[in-house]
């Protein structure tokens, strides 16, 4: 069985989900549990070499301007051998998805969306995403203050094992990628909110803590901070600049 076949077998339900998908433009994605101050964290794990990923990618793009949703696109590396190397993928992003696979008891495959570190779905069906966003109840177990050059995490309720503080830098611009090989050969795929940097700043154990950060070299990049239970656990707090 080829790697492509294994992936399609593992995600066999995708075909049915795509067939039933409601176009984002026709389905009103509203009523998420997030706010501009504490958006719902929605992460997409995808690969430009995956023929099943463009619908999920398009759905994430459609959510990129929602103030109550923090949409993040992570390129993974494990399909690079299929003929096209994802231009945004990093091993750290693959490791993050593997942590979710462990924490959520999910299969490793693409596309995969993770909501608040608590629920995963394929992401090709816009209605499924809308329902997941409506179910989301974003936690704010601590205050996060994010400014240029500094991140402050306040006192709050931390898991017994503690939590990680992640700095995320992402590009809100539309990035058009012309695919020249592999399953999406000949297509030009638009990407938004592409994550370009994922850095663990340190730990949070319930006591106030601060971290110095650098200013991104590209002023167009946006910054977010996630306080998250370890090993792919739930998001405990989030903020963006």
Digit-by-digit pLDDT tens for the chain (241 residues) are 234 433 443 443 333 333 323 233 323 344 467 898 999 999 999 999 999 999 999 999 999 999 999 999 999 999 999 899 999 999 999 999 999 999 999 999 999 999 999 999 999 999 999 999 999 999 999 999 998 899 999 999 999 999 999 999 999 999 999 999 999 999 999 999 999 999 999 999 999 999 999 989 899 999 999 999 999 999 999 999 8
**List of residues 6+ apart from 151 with CB closer than 8 A:** 144, 145, 165, 167, 201, 210, 211, 213, 225
CB atoms within 10 A of CB 206: 17
Q: Which two tokens stand for residue 146?
A: 């994010």
Query: Domain residue spans in the chain?
Result: 3-13+34-240
What's the Cα-to-Cα distance from 190 to each of 45, 57, 159, 179, rounded to whole Å?
15, 8, 38, 11
Flag whether the pTM goes above 0.85: yes
Q: Degrees (nearest 5) of the Cα angle 140, 141, 144? A: 65
């Amino acid at each position: 069985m080829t790697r492509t076949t294994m992936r399609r077998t593992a995600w066999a339900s995708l075909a049915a989900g795509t067939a039933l998908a409601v176009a984002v433009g026709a389905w009103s994605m509203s009523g998420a549990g997030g706010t501009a101050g504490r958006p719902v964290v929605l992460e997409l794990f995808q690969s430009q070499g995956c023929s099943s990923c463009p619908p999920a990618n398009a759905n994430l793009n459609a959510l990129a301007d929602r103030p109550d949703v923090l949409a993040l696109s992570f390129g993974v590396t494990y399909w690079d051998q299929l003929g096209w190397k994802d231009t945004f993928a990093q091993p750290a992003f693959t490791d993050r998805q593997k942590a979710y696979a462990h924490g959520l008891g999910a299969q490793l495959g693409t596309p995969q969306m993770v909501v608040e570190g608590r629920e995963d779905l394929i992401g090709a069906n816009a209605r499924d995403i809308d329902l997941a966003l409506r179910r989301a109840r974003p936690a704010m177990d601590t205050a996060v203050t994010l400014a240029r050059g500094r991140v402050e995490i306040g006192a709050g309720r931390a898991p017994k094992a503690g939590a990680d503080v992640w700095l995320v830098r992402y590009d809100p611009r539309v990035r058009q990628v012309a695919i020249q090989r592999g399953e999406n050969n000949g297509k030009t795929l638009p990407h938004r909110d592409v994550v370009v940097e994922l850095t663990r700043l340190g730990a949070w154990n319930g006591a106030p803590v601060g971290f110095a950060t650098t200013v991104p070299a590209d002023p167009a990049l946006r910054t977010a901070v996630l306080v998250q239970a370890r090993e792919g656990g739930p998001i405990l707090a989030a903020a963006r600049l």
